[in-house]
Amino acid sequence: MKTNKLSELTLEELHKEKNKLKGVVIGFGIVMLLACGGLLFLIIKNQNFALFAVIPGCMLTLLPSFIRLGQLNTEIKSRNSN
């Protein structure tokens, strides 16, 4: 996999990557909410409350994407201020 340091990318490439990552995060977020809703339904229906521990674990899978998005926003803001 090709890794790009943010400092080596142009401002246009940063914006393109930010928009692409934002779309991915929104898409995965919607799918994750639907999956967690289905899991909540199963938890209530089957009275298996031990499955509640899975829901925060599912949400943690989006954390690296949010971190990368924050790095992109920081790099774009630093370049716009110069």
Give the model's pLDDT for residue 20: 97
Give the model's pLDDT for residue 59: 85
Q: 18-53: b or e for each residue (b if 16 or more CB lie within 10 Å)?
A: beeeeeeeeeeeeeeeeeeeeeeeebeeeeeeeeee
- Average pLDDT, stretch 71-80? 92
Q: Is the pLDDT of residue 1 over 50?
A: no
Tens of pLDDT along 4-63? 688 888 999 999 999 999 999 999 999 999 999 999 999 999 998 888 888 888 889 999
Structure tokens belonging to residue 53: 């521990």
Cβ(6)–Cβ(14) under 8 Å? yes
